[in-house]
Amino acid sequence: MGNDGGSIPRRAELVKQKKKKEKVDPILHAISIWFFCALSKVPLSNPIVVDEVGKLYNREAILKHLLDPNGSYGDADQICAYIKSIKDVKTLKLTSNPGYEAKKAHASVGQVPQFICPILQKEMNGRNRFIANWNCGCVVSEEAIKSVGSEECLNCNKKYGSEDLILINPDESELKDLKVRMKARREKRKLLKKLKADKNKESAGTKHLDSDHINSQSANKTTTNNDPSHNDTTKPELDPSELKKRKYTEHRQDRLKAKALKSSLTAPNSGTLNRSIQASKIIEKYSSNPIKNNS
């Protein structure tokens, strides 16, 4: 027990010292994060998903966690508490390693990588850095992206932005940046969802107003048909272009009628002309041979 004359206490037993940080074997750590699911701790197998901070999971494990958040995995709150739906992860399009099938029977997990970079053929073994494209799901090596510097995916040619690139299994300093981008991405997603909902609501309101207008027109038509004092020959409303065409036709017909009437008034009548000629001849005859009185 000490202080009884039988033992001499040391300083370590009397003063609490700062606990030393446990050293982790970097090779074992790389194998655990690159070859095993971060949630279920079983070897990674397709389909594989990545979250917004670069952790790799089996898709089956994520679905199981979402269905039973409390009972599926005990340490899920410490590993992926920010995963609330399947939209918070991205299914990856990984390029298989051609030599994996031939070597896996004689090697343990972690010795032979399952996947490689489709551009540079580098193995996804923990020593090479890889980047997942959140927009399309393709996975290529960081070296390939930096060497080409394209704004299109090197694997599928789909366009992407810098915010779509997720570094797989980043270090502590890079993890903070990914968390900031995750927050911004989710706020953007939430805003787009709200705008879409408002647009759908506005569209639904417009359709409702249109249906009310149609119903009111139908009701007015029914009332008009039932009213005996209403003239059944009421002309329907015409299209503006059709109305303009009809007015032009009526105006043209009126002009032709007026022209025809004017021509009939100015042209001489043949019967009247013949009678006037005969009368002039009689007057001329008697004026040249006057009638003598018998007195």
In this predicted structure, what is the pLDDT of residue 215? 66
Give the span between the Cα atoms of 87 and 185, in whole angstroms: 12
- Flag whether 65 is in a domain: yes
Residues 135 and 201 in one domain: no
- Flag whether 283 is in a domain: no
Residues 87 and 121 in one domain: yes
Greater confidence (127 vs 258) lies with 127
Residues 40 and 139 in one domain: yes
Structural domain containing residue 104: 23-170
Strands (E) across 42-155 are located at 48-51, 56-58, 89-91, 95-96, 115-116, 130-133, 139-141
Strand partners, 141: 130
Q: What's the alpha-carbon Rg for the chain, to the nearest Å?
A: 49
Q: Is the pLDDT of residue 293 over 50?
A: no
- By residue count, the chain amounts to 295
Q: Read off the pTM.
A: 0.61
Return the structure tokens found at 145. 């992206």
Last residue of a domain, one of 144, 170, 196: 170
Closest CA to 168 of 94, 77, 96, 72: 94
Closest CA to 110 of 27, 196, 6: 27
Which of 56-65, 98-107, 254-263, 270-279 shows the highest mean pLDDT?
Answer: 56-65
In this predicted structure, what is the pLDDT of residue 66? 94
- Flag whether 64 is in a domain: yes
**Count of structural domains, the chain:** 2
Q: Which amino acid is at 67?
A: L
In this predicted structure, what is the pLDDT of residue 43? 94
Residues 130 and 45 in one domain: yes
Residues 30 and 160 in one domain: yes
Last residue of a domain, one of 161, 191, 212: 212
Residues 55 and 156 in one domain: yes
- Side-by-side strand order, sheet with 89-91: 56-58, 48-51, 89-91
Angle 272-275-279 from CA coordinates, rounded to 5°:
140
The rounded mean pLDDT for the chain is 80
- 3-state secondary structure at position 203: helix
Contact 51, 61 (CB under 8 A): no
Residues 181 and 101 in one domain: no
Residues 138 and 159 in one domain: yes
Closest CA to 80 of 54, 102, 99: 54
Residues 60 and 108 in one domain: yes
Q: For residue 248, what pLDDT band results from cuts at 50, 70 and 90?
A: confident
**What's 61's domain CATH number?**
3.30.40.10
Q: What is the pLDDT of residues 187-235, one digit of tens each?
A: 888 898 888 888 888 877 776 666 666 666 666 665 555 555 555 445 5
Give the span between the Cα atoms of 125 and 107, in whole angstroms: 14
